[in-house]
Structure 1
Amino acid sequence: MGHAAAKMLLDRGARVGLHYRSNAEPIKQLIAEYGQDRALPIQADLTDRAMLTSGVEQVVATYGQLDGCLNTVGTALRMKPFLDISDDVVDETIATELRGVITSAQAVLPHLIEAGGGHFVLVGSDSGKVGTSGEVISAACRGGIVSFAKSLAREYARQNVLVNVVCPGPTDTGLWEDLVENDEFGGKIGNAMIRAIPLRRIGKAEEVAAAAIFLLSGEASYITGQAISVSGGLTMS
Protein backbone atom coordinates (compact mmCIF):
# COMPACT_ATOMS: atom_id res chain seq x y z
CA MET A 1 0.00 0.00 0.00
CA GLY A 2 2.84 2.36 0.84
CA HIS A 3 4.57 1.66 -2.46
CA ALA A 4 1.35 2.24 -4.41
CA ALA A 5 0.75 5.52 -2.58
CA ALA A 6 4.32 6.70 -3.13
CA LYS A 7 4.01 6.01 -6.86
CA MET A 8 0.72 7.93 -7.03
CA LEU A 9 2.26 10.92 -5.27
CA LEU A 10 5.25 10.89 -7.58
CA ASP A 11 3.00 10.58 -10.63
CA ARG A 12 1.22 13.73 -9.44
CA GLY A 13 4.46 15.69 -9.25
CA ALA A 14 5.18 15.50 -5.52
CA ARG A 15 8.61 15.27 -4.00
CA VAL A 16 8.56 12.40 -1.56
CA GLY A 17 10.69 11.15 1.31
CA LEU A 18 10.46 7.36 1.12
CA HIS A 19 10.89 5.53 4.40
CA TYR A 20 12.18 1.99 4.72
CA ARG A 21 13.54 -0.01 7.62
CA SER A 22 15.62 -2.74 5.95
CA ASN A 23 14.36 -3.52 2.43
CA ALA A 24 15.57 -0.71 0.18
CA GLU A 25 14.88 -2.42 -3.15
CA PRO A 26 11.36 -0.96 -3.75
CA ILE A 27 12.73 2.48 -2.89
CA LYS A 28 15.58 2.07 -5.36
CA GLN A 29 13.07 1.21 -8.08
CA LEU A 30 11.11 4.42 -7.46
CA ILE A 31 14.30 6.52 -7.43
CA ALA A 32 15.39 4.96 -10.72
CA GLU A 33 12.01 5.77 -12.26
CA TYR A 34 11.46 9.28 -10.90
CA GLY A 35 14.96 10.58 -10.13
CA GLN A 36 16.87 11.47 -6.99
CA ASP A 37 15.53 15.02 -6.96
CA ARG A 38 11.96 13.69 -6.53
CA ALA A 39 12.44 10.62 -4.34
CA LEU A 40 14.56 10.71 -1.20
CA PRO A 41 15.34 7.45 0.63
CA ILE A 42 15.05 7.58 4.42
CA GLN A 43 16.21 4.57 6.44
CA ALA A 44 14.82 4.42 9.97
CA ASP A 45 13.22 2.24 12.61
CA LEU A 46 9.84 3.84 13.31
CA THR A 47 10.08 2.85 16.96
CA ASP A 48 13.31 4.85 17.34
CA ARG A 49 12.29 8.47 17.84
CA ALA A 50 15.76 9.96 17.38
CA MET A 51 16.38 8.06 14.16
CA LEU A 52 12.97 8.94 12.74
CA THR A 53 13.25 12.60 13.73
CA SER A 54 16.59 12.78 11.95
CA GLY A 55 15.04 11.26 8.82
CA VAL A 56 12.15 13.74 8.80
CA GLU A 57 14.58 16.62 9.27
CA GLN A 58 16.53 15.33 6.28
CA VAL A 59 13.37 15.52 4.15
CA VAL A 60 12.68 19.09 5.31
CA ALA A 61 16.28 20.15 4.69
CA THR A 62 16.16 18.67 1.17
CA TYR A 63 12.73 19.92 0.07
CA GLY A 64 12.28 23.05 2.19
CA GLN A 65 9.20 22.02 4.15
CA LEU A 66 6.88 19.14 4.94
CA ASP A 67 3.30 19.33 3.64
CA GLY A 68 2.04 15.90 4.58
CA CYS A 69 2.89 12.48 5.93
CA LEU A 70 1.42 9.07 5.17
CA ASN A 71 2.08 6.31 7.71
CA THR A 72 1.47 2.73 6.55
CA VAL A 73 3.34 0.83 9.26
CA GLY A 74 2.25 -2.70 10.10
CA THR A 75 3.51 -6.09 11.18
CA ALA A 76 3.65 -9.24 9.07
CA LEU A 77 2.57 -11.84 11.62
CA ARG A 78 0.39 -14.93 11.44
CA MET A 79 -3.17 -14.88 12.74
CA LYS A 80 -3.51 -16.74 16.04
CA PRO A 81 -6.14 -17.18 18.74
CA PHE A 82 -5.59 -14.66 21.53
CA LEU A 83 -4.47 -17.18 24.16
CA ASP A 84 -1.85 -18.58 21.76
CA ILE A 85 -0.13 -15.21 21.23
CA SER A 86 3.23 -14.94 22.96
CA ASP A 87 4.31 -11.95 25.02
CA ASP A 88 7.05 -11.25 22.49
CA VAL A 89 4.48 -10.96 19.69
CA VAL A 90 2.29 -8.72 21.85
CA ASP A 91 5.24 -6.42 22.53
CA GLU A 92 6.38 -6.39 18.89
CA THR A 93 2.91 -5.62 17.58
CA ILE A 94 2.31 -2.78 20.02
CA ALA A 95 5.77 -1.34 19.42
CA THR A 96 5.26 -1.32 15.65
CA GLU A 97 1.57 -0.62 15.11
CA LEU A 98 0.92 1.81 17.96
CA ARG A 99 4.20 3.16 19.27
CA GLY A 100 5.53 3.51 15.71
CA VAL A 101 2.55 5.70 14.80
CA ILE A 102 2.97 7.84 17.91
CA THR A 103 6.68 8.26 17.20
CA SER A 104 5.91 9.28 13.62
CA ALA A 105 3.50 11.94 14.87
CA GLN A 106 6.10 13.28 17.29
CA ALA A 107 8.55 13.61 14.41
CA VAL A 108 6.31 15.17 11.75
CA LEU A 109 3.79 17.37 13.58
CA PRO A 110 6.25 20.18 14.47
CA HIS A 111 7.16 20.52 10.79
CA LEU A 112 3.53 20.52 9.63
CA ILE A 113 2.76 23.26 12.15
CA GLU A 114 5.81 25.23 11.05
CA ALA A 115 4.64 24.97 7.42
CA GLY A 116 1.30 26.52 8.37
CA GLY A 117 -0.59 23.25 8.34
CA GLY A 118 -0.70 19.99 6.47
CA HIS A 119 -2.04 16.46 6.36
CA PHE A 120 -1.18 13.49 8.56
CA VAL A 121 -2.79 10.31 7.21
CA LEU A 122 -2.58 6.90 8.85
CA VAL A 123 -3.35 3.57 7.23
CA GLY A 124 -5.00 1.44 9.88
CA SER A 125 -7.54 -1.33 9.44
CA ASP A 126 -11.24 -2.00 9.68
CA SER A 127 -10.24 -4.33 12.52
CA GLY A 128 -9.75 -1.19 14.59
CA LYS A 129 -13.44 -0.43 14.18
CA VAL A 130 -15.10 -3.81 14.56
CA GLY A 131 -12.39 -6.24 15.72
CA THR A 132 -11.07 -9.31 13.94
CA SER A 133 -10.63 -12.87 15.14
CA GLY A 134 -7.00 -13.91 15.04
CA GLU A 135 -5.71 -10.33 15.14
CA VAL A 136 -6.68 -9.26 18.64
CA ILE A 137 -3.51 -7.31 19.46
CA SER A 138 -3.26 -5.71 16.04
CA ALA A 139 -6.95 -4.75 16.19
CA ALA A 140 -6.34 -3.14 19.58
CA CYS A 141 -3.51 -1.09 18.09
CA ARG A 142 -5.60 -0.13 15.06
CA GLY A 143 -8.44 0.98 17.30
CA GLY A 144 -5.91 2.94 19.31
CA ILE A 145 -4.65 4.86 16.30
CA VAL A 146 -8.21 5.80 15.31
CA SER A 147 -8.68 7.40 18.74
CA PHE A 148 -5.18 8.85 18.55
CA ALA A 149 -5.90 10.44 15.16
CA LYS A 150 -9.22 11.90 16.32
CA SER A 151 -7.53 13.38 19.38
CA LEU A 152 -4.72 14.89 17.32
CA ALA A 153 -7.29 16.27 14.88
CA ARG A 154 -9.03 18.11 17.70
CA GLU A 155 -5.84 19.30 19.34
CA TYR A 156 -4.17 20.70 16.22
CA ALA A 157 -7.14 21.87 14.14
CA ARG A 158 -6.34 25.52 14.85
CA GLN A 159 -2.86 24.95 13.43
CA ASN A 160 -4.60 23.65 10.24
CA VAL A 161 -3.18 20.16 10.71
CA LEU A 162 -5.68 17.61 9.38
CA VAL A 163 -5.43 14.06 10.72
CA ASN A 164 -7.33 11.11 9.24
CA VAL A 165 -7.20 7.33 9.05
CA VAL A 166 -7.78 5.04 6.07
CA CYS A 167 -9.12 1.67 7.23
CA PRO A 168 -8.71 -1.08 4.63
CA GLY A 169 -10.31 -4.47 4.80
CA PRO A 170 -8.81 -7.55 3.09
CA THR A 171 -6.46 -6.23 0.41
CA ASP A 172 -4.60 -8.04 -2.36
CA THR A 173 -1.01 -7.87 -1.19
CA GLY A 174 1.72 -10.46 -0.88
CA LEU A 175 1.07 -10.59 2.85
CA TRP A 176 -2.62 -11.38 2.38
CA GLU A 177 -1.89 -14.06 -0.23
CA ASP A 178 0.60 -15.71 2.08
CA LEU A 179 -1.83 -15.52 4.97
CA VAL A 180 -4.79 -17.22 3.30
CA GLU A 181 -2.81 -19.74 1.25
CA ASN A 182 -0.11 -20.88 3.67
CA ASP A 183 -1.76 -20.70 7.07
CA GLU A 184 -4.77 -22.88 7.93
CA PHE A 185 -6.15 -20.70 10.74
CA GLY A 186 -5.58 -17.46 8.83
CA GLY A 187 -7.02 -18.98 5.68
CA LYS A 188 -10.29 -19.88 7.40
CA ILE A 189 -10.72 -16.39 8.81
CA GLY A 190 -9.55 -14.65 5.66
CA ASN A 191 -11.85 -16.57 3.36
CA ALA A 192 -14.79 -15.98 5.70
CA MET A 193 -14.06 -12.25 5.55
CA ILE A 194 -14.00 -12.31 1.76
CA ARG A 195 -17.39 -14.04 1.67
CA ALA A 196 -18.77 -11.26 3.89
CA ILE A 197 -17.70 -8.44 1.55
CA PRO A 198 -20.75 -7.09 -0.35
CA LEU A 199 -18.64 -6.32 -3.43
CA ARG A 200 -17.54 -9.97 -3.44
CA ARG A 201 -13.83 -9.29 -3.90
CA ILE A 202 -10.87 -8.11 -1.90
CA GLY A 203 -9.45 -4.65 -2.43
CA LYS A 204 -6.44 -3.58 -4.44
CA ALA A 205 -3.50 -1.77 -2.88
CA GLU A 206 -4.08 1.06 -5.36
CA GLU A 207 -7.66 1.50 -4.12
CA VAL A 208 -6.48 1.98 -0.55
CA ALA A 209 -3.68 4.26 -1.71
CA ALA A 210 -6.11 6.41 -3.72
CA ALA A 211 -8.13 7.15 -0.58
CA ALA A 212 -4.96 8.08 1.28
CA ILE A 213 -3.76 10.33 -1.54
CA PHE A 214 -7.10 12.14 -1.56
CA LEU A 215 -6.79 12.80 2.18
CA LEU A 216 -3.28 14.16 1.61
CA SER A 217 -4.55 16.55 -1.07
CA GLY A 218 -6.00 20.03 -1.05
CA GLU A 219 -9.37 18.58 -2.04
CA ALA A 220 -9.63 17.16 1.50
CA SER A 221 -9.21 20.56 3.15
CA TYR A 222 -12.40 20.20 5.25
CA ILE A 223 -11.95 16.61 6.39
CA THR A 224 -10.29 15.80 9.70
CA GLY A 225 -10.68 13.31 12.50
CA GLN A 226 -12.22 10.68 10.23
CA ALA A 227 -11.63 6.93 9.91
CA ILE A 228 -12.64 6.05 6.35
CA SER A 229 -13.21 2.40 5.46
CA VAL A 230 -11.94 1.11 2.12
CA SER A 231 -13.25 -2.40 2.43
CA GLY A 232 -15.90 -3.06 -0.21
CA GLY A 233 -18.70 -2.60 2.31
CA LEU A 234 -17.35 -5.17 4.80
CA THR A 235 -18.07 -2.60 7.49
CA MET A 236 -20.57 0.24 7.20
CA SER A 237 -20.20 2.60 10.11
Structure 2
Amino acid sequence: MKGLSNRVAVITGGAGGIGAALCRRMNEEGVKVAILDLNRDAAASLADELGRGGVEAKAYGVDITSYEQVEAAIADIEATLGPIDILVNNAGWDHAARFVDTDPQLWQKLIAINLVGPLNLQHTVVKRMIARGFGRIVNVSSDAGRVGSSGESVYSACKGGVISFSKTLAREVARKQITVNVVCPGPTETALFRDFAGAGESGEKLRGALAKAIPFGRLGQPQDVVGAVCFLSSDDAAFITGQVLSVSGGLTMAG
Protein backbone atom coordinates (compact mmCIF):
# COMPACT_ATOMS: atom_id res chain seq x y z
CA MET A 1 0.00 0.00 0.00
CA LYS A 2 1.14 3.54 -0.70
CA GLY A 3 3.11 5.36 1.94
CA LEU A 4 3.79 2.55 4.41
CA SER A 5 7.40 1.69 3.62
CA ASN A 6 9.90 3.16 6.11
CA ARG A 7 7.15 4.40 8.42
CA VAL A 8 7.31 3.77 12.18
CA ALA A 9 4.29 2.11 13.78
CA VAL A 10 3.36 1.48 17.39
CA ILE A 11 1.02 -1.48 17.82
CA THR A 12 -0.41 -2.32 21.23
CA GLY A 13 -1.34 -5.88 22.11
CA GLY A 14 1.09 -6.71 19.32
CA ALA A 15 2.25 -10.12 20.48
CA GLY A 16 -0.85 -12.22 19.84
CA GLY A 17 -3.96 -12.66 17.74
CA ILE A 18 -4.84 -9.68 15.59
CA GLY A 19 -1.85 -7.73 16.90
CA ALA A 20 0.74 -10.29 15.84
CA ALA A 21 -0.88 -10.71 12.43
CA LEU A 22 -0.84 -6.94 12.02
CA CYS A 23 2.82 -6.65 13.04
CA ARG A 24 3.75 -9.27 10.45
CA ARG A 25 1.74 -7.56 7.70
CA MET A 26 3.10 -4.10 8.55
CA ASN A 27 6.60 -5.57 8.54
CA GLU A 28 5.99 -7.02 5.08
CA GLU A 29 4.99 -3.53 3.93
CA GLY A 30 8.35 -2.18 5.12
CA VAL A 31 7.11 -0.60 8.36
CA LYS A 32 9.39 -0.45 11.39
CA VAL A 33 7.25 -1.87 14.17
CA ALA A 34 7.29 -1.19 17.91
CA ILE A 35 5.46 -4.09 19.55
CA LEU A 36 3.85 -3.13 22.85
CA ASP A 37 2.49 -5.97 24.93
CA LEU A 38 2.06 -6.92 28.56
CA ASN A 39 3.83 -10.19 27.67
CA ARG A 40 7.31 -8.91 26.90
CA ASP A 41 8.74 -12.37 26.14
CA ALA A 42 6.14 -12.97 23.44
CA ALA A 43 6.75 -9.49 22.04
CA ALA A 44 10.52 -10.06 22.01
CA SER A 45 10.12 -13.38 20.21
CA LEU A 46 7.99 -11.75 17.51
CA ALA A 47 10.42 -8.82 17.19
CA ASP A 48 13.28 -11.28 16.64
CA GLU A 49 11.25 -13.08 13.97
CA LEU A 50 10.42 -9.85 12.16
CA GLY A 51 13.96 -8.49 12.44
CA ARG A 52 15.31 -11.49 10.53
CA GLY A 53 13.32 -10.24 7.52
CA GLY A 54 15.48 -7.13 7.33
CA VAL A 55 13.02 -4.52 8.65
CA GLU A 56 13.61 -3.31 12.18
CA ALA A 57 11.24 -4.29 14.98
CA LYS A 58 11.49 -3.69 18.71
CA ALA A 59 9.61 -5.16 21.67
CA TYR A 60 8.35 -3.36 24.75
CA GLY A 61 6.77 -4.90 27.83
CA VAL A 62 4.21 -2.23 28.68
CA ASP A 63 1.11 -2.05 30.84
CA ILE A 64 -0.94 0.40 28.79
CA THR A 65 -3.03 1.33 31.84
CA SER A 66 0.09 3.07 33.24
CA TYR A 67 0.62 6.51 31.73
CA GLU A 68 4.21 6.51 33.02
CA GLN A 69 5.07 3.21 31.30
CA VAL A 70 3.47 4.38 28.06
CA GLU A 71 5.32 7.69 28.15
CA ALA A 72 8.68 5.99 28.75
CA ALA A 73 8.12 3.50 25.93
CA ILE A 74 7.08 6.18 23.43
CA ALA A 75 10.14 8.28 24.26
CA ASP A 76 12.41 5.27 23.69
CA ILE A 77 10.69 4.34 20.43
CA GLU A 78 11.19 7.82 19.01
CA ALA A 79 14.84 7.81 20.13
CA THR A 80 15.60 4.41 18.57
CA LEU A 81 13.20 3.74 15.67
CA GLY A 82 12.39 7.35 14.79
CA PRO A 83 9.32 9.61 14.85
CA ILE A 84 6.06 7.68 15.19
CA ASP A 85 3.92 7.87 12.05
CA ILE A 86 1.29 5.23 12.86
CA LEU A 87 -0.43 4.28 16.10
CA VAL A 88 -2.69 1.23 16.30
CA ASN A 89 -4.52 0.77 19.60
CA ASN A 90 -5.27 -2.93 19.40
CA ALA A 91 -4.83 -4.20 22.97
CA GLY A 92 -7.99 -5.27 24.77
CA TRP A 93 -9.43 -7.61 27.37
CA ASP A 94 -12.87 -8.93 28.25
CA HIS A 95 -14.68 -11.16 30.71
CA ALA A 96 -18.02 -12.69 29.79
CA ALA A 97 -20.78 -12.14 32.37
CA ARG A 98 -24.23 -10.60 32.68
CA PHE A 99 -23.95 -7.04 33.96
CA VAL A 100 -25.87 -7.87 37.16
CA ASP A 101 -23.31 -10.58 37.93
CA THR A 102 -20.31 -8.23 37.68
CA ASP A 103 -18.81 -5.90 40.25
CA PRO A 104 -17.03 -2.51 40.31
CA GLN A 105 -13.60 -4.13 40.53
CA LEU A 106 -14.19 -5.87 37.20
CA TRP A 107 -15.60 -2.66 35.68
CA GLN A 108 -12.48 -0.74 36.62
CA LYS A 109 -10.20 -3.36 35.07
CA LEU A 110 -12.20 -3.40 31.84
CA ILE A 111 -12.27 0.40 31.66
CA ALA A 112 -8.55 0.69 32.42
CA ILE A 113 -7.50 -1.70 29.65
CA ASN A 114 -10.08 -0.97 26.95
CA LEU A 115 -10.59 2.78 27.35
CA VAL A 116 -7.91 4.38 29.53
CA GLY A 117 -5.13 2.45 27.78
CA PRO A 118 -5.94 3.85 24.32
CA LEU A 119 -6.33 7.33 25.85
CA ASN A 120 -2.85 7.04 27.39
CA LEU A 121 -1.31 6.09 24.05
CA GLN A 122 -3.07 8.80 22.08
CA HIS A 123 -2.38 11.54 24.60
CA THR A 124 1.32 10.68 24.48
CA VAL A 125 1.65 10.13 20.73
CA VAL A 126 -0.72 12.73 19.28
CA LYS A 127 1.20 15.65 20.77
CA ARG A 128 4.25 14.49 18.80
CA MET A 129 2.20 14.01 15.63
CA ILE A 130 0.75 17.53 15.95
CA ALA A 131 4.23 19.01 16.24
CA ARG A 132 5.24 17.25 13.00
CA GLY A 133 1.98 17.79 11.11
CA PHE A 134 1.39 14.15 10.22
CA GLY A 135 -0.05 10.96 11.69
CA ARG A 136 -2.24 7.93 11.20
CA ILE A 137 -4.21 6.53 14.14
CA VAL A 138 -6.33 3.40 13.95
CA ASN A 139 -8.29 2.37 17.02
CA VAL A 140 -9.41 -1.25 17.06
CA SER A 141 -12.82 -1.18 18.70
CA SER A 142 -15.45 -3.91 18.30
CA ASP A 143 -18.87 -4.41 16.81
CA ALA A 144 -19.89 -4.85 20.46
CA GLY A 145 -19.35 -1.09 20.73
CA ARG A 146 -21.60 -0.42 17.74
CA VAL A 147 -24.55 -2.72 18.33
CA GLY A 148 -24.06 -4.20 21.83
CA SER A 149 -23.31 -7.78 22.84
CA SER A 150 -24.88 -9.87 25.59
CA GLY A 151 -22.40 -10.67 28.33
CA GLU A 152 -20.12 -7.79 27.35
CA SER A 153 -21.86 -4.76 28.85
CA VAL A 154 -18.89 -2.82 30.22
CA TYR A 155 -16.57 -3.97 27.42
CA SER A 156 -19.19 -2.72 24.93
CA ALA A 157 -19.39 0.59 26.79
CA CYS A 158 -15.62 1.00 26.55
CA LYS A 159 -15.54 0.13 22.87
CA GLY A 160 -18.39 2.52 22.18
CA GLY A 161 -16.41 5.16 24.05
CA VAL A 162 -13.41 4.48 21.81
CA ILE A 163 -15.60 5.11 18.76
CA SER A 164 -16.96 8.41 20.10
CA PHE A 165 -13.53 9.54 21.27
CA SER A 166 -12.01 8.73 17.88
CA LYS A 167 -14.57 10.84 16.03
CA THR A 168 -13.95 13.77 18.35
CA LEU A 169 -10.17 13.50 18.17
CA ALA A 170 -10.40 13.24 14.38
CA ARG A 171 -12.11 16.64 14.34
CA GLU A 172 -9.55 18.18 16.67
CA VAL A 173 -6.46 17.11 14.72
CA ALA A 174 -7.63 17.15 11.10
CA ARG A 175 -5.98 20.52 10.38
CA LYS A 176 -2.65 18.90 11.32
CA GLN A 177 -3.12 16.20 8.65
CA ILE A 178 -3.63 13.49 11.26
CA THR A 179 -6.27 10.87 10.53
CA VAL A 180 -8.12 8.95 13.24
CA ASN A 181 -10.25 5.97 12.23
CA VAL A 182 -11.79 2.91 13.84
CA VAL A 183 -11.88 -0.74 12.82
CA CYS A 184 -14.53 -2.90 14.50
CA PRO A 185 -13.91 -6.64 14.23
CA GLY A 186 -16.83 -9.00 14.64
CA PRO A 187 -16.35 -12.42 16.30
CA THR A 188 -12.75 -13.34 15.49
CA GLU A 189 -10.75 -16.44 16.42
CA THR A 190 -8.34 -15.04 18.97
CA ALA A 191 -7.34 -15.91 22.53
CA LEU A 192 -9.69 -13.16 23.72
CA PHE A 193 -12.63 -14.74 21.88
CA ARG A 194 -11.74 -18.22 23.13
CA ASP A 195 -11.72 -16.93 26.70
CA PHE A 196 -15.06 -15.25 26.10
CA ALA A 197 -16.69 -18.28 24.46
CA GLY A 198 -15.36 -20.77 27.00
CA ALA A 199 -14.37 -24.37 26.53
CA GLY A 200 -16.37 -27.53 26.01
CA GLU A 201 -19.83 -27.99 24.58
CA SER A 202 -21.14 -24.52 25.43
CA GLY A 203 -18.20 -22.88 23.68
CA GLU A 204 -18.69 -24.99 20.58
CA LYS A 205 -22.40 -24.18 20.53
CA LEU A 206 -21.63 -20.45 20.64
CA ARG A 207 -19.09 -20.79 17.81
CA GLY A 208 -21.59 -22.76 15.74
CA ALA A 209 -24.38 -20.26 16.35
CA LEU A 210 -22.16 -17.33 15.40
CA ALA A 211 -20.92 -19.09 12.26
CA LYS A 212 -24.54 -19.61 11.20
CA ALA A 213 -25.41 -15.98 11.92
CA ILE A 214 -22.47 -14.57 9.96
CA PRO A 215 -23.36 -14.34 6.24
CA PHE A 216 -19.88 -15.59 5.29
CA GLY A 217 -20.56 -18.72 7.31
CA ARG A 218 -17.48 -18.60 9.52
CA LEU A 219 -15.79 -16.71 12.32
CA GLY A 220 -13.25 -14.06 11.41
CA GLN A 221 -9.53 -14.75 11.46
CA PRO A 222 -6.86 -12.24 12.52
CA GLN A 223 -5.71 -11.94 8.90
CA ASP A 224 -9.19 -10.70 7.95
CA VAL A 225 -8.69 -7.57 10.04
CA VAL A 226 -5.15 -6.51 9.19
CA GLY A 227 -5.83 -5.34 5.65
CA ALA A 228 -8.36 -2.78 6.86
CA VAL A 229 -5.94 -1.46 9.47
CA CYS A 230 -3.07 -1.23 6.97
CA PHE A 231 -5.28 0.56 4.46
CA LEU A 232 -6.36 3.17 7.02
CA SER A 233 -2.68 3.60 8.00
CA SER A 234 -1.59 4.17 4.41
CA ASP A 235 -1.52 7.15 2.08
CA ASP A 236 -4.37 5.50 0.15
CA ALA A 237 -6.57 6.60 3.07
CA ALA A 238 -5.07 10.07 3.48
CA PHE A 239 -8.47 11.78 3.03
CA ILE A 240 -10.40 9.40 5.31
CA THR A 241 -10.88 10.34 8.95
CA GLY A 242 -13.45 9.91 11.72
CA GLN A 243 -14.79 6.74 10.09
CA VAL A 244 -15.82 3.37 11.55
CA LEU A 245 -15.35 0.18 9.53
CA SER A 246 -16.90 -3.13 10.57
CA VAL A 247 -14.94 -6.27 9.66
CA SER A 248 -17.50 -8.91 10.55
CA GLY A 249 -18.30 -11.01 7.50
CA GLY A 250 -21.58 -9.11 7.24
CA LEU A 251 -22.81 -9.95 10.76
CA THR A 252 -23.58 -6.28 11.35
CA MET A 253 -24.53 -4.01 8.48
CA ALA A 254 -25.88 -0.98 10.30
CA GLY A 255 -24.40 2.39 9.35
TM-score range, shorter chain: over 0.9
1:13 CA displacement: 1.0
The within-5 A match list for 1:5-154 is 5-35=22-52, 38-77=56-95, 79-154=96-171
Aligned to 1:167: 184
**Is 1:134–1:186's contact at 8 Å kept on the other side of the alignment?**
no
Task: Provide TM-score, normalisation by structure 1.
Answer: 0.92
Mapped contact 2:181–2:244 kept (Cα < 8 A): yes
Secondary structure in 2 aligned to 1:166? strand
| Distance (whole Å) between structure 2 residues aligned to residue 161 and residue 107 of structure 1 | 14
Given residue 175 of structure 1, which amino acid in structure 2 is its aligned partner?
Answer: L
Which segment is superposed worse, 17-26 or 45-54?
Answer: 17-26
In the alignment, which of 220, 226, 244 is matched to residue 227 of structure 1? Answer: 244
Give structure 2 stretches of 5+ with no counterpart.
1-17
Residue identity (%):
36
Task: Return the offset for 1:17.
Answer: 1.0
Q: For residue 25 of structure 1, report the CA deviation from its aligned partner.
A: 1.9
| Separation of aligned partners in 1, 2:80 and 2:204 | 44
2:3 corresponds in structure 1 to: none
How many angstroms does 1:100 deviate by? 0.7
Deviates more, 1:34-43 or 1:201-210: 34-43
Structure 1 residue matching 2:97: 3-state secondary structure: coil
| Cross-structure match for 1:193 | 210
1:202 corresponding residue in structure 2: 219
Structure 1 residue 190 displacement after superposition: 5.0
Q: Which runs of 4+ in 1 moved over 4 A?
A: 183-191
| Structure 1, 215-224 or 26-35: larger mean CA deviation | 26-35
Contact 2:40 2:62 in 1 (8 A): no
Work out the CA distance in 2 between the residues paired with 1:217 and 1:60: 20
The alignment's TM-score, normalised by the length of structure 2, stands at 0.86
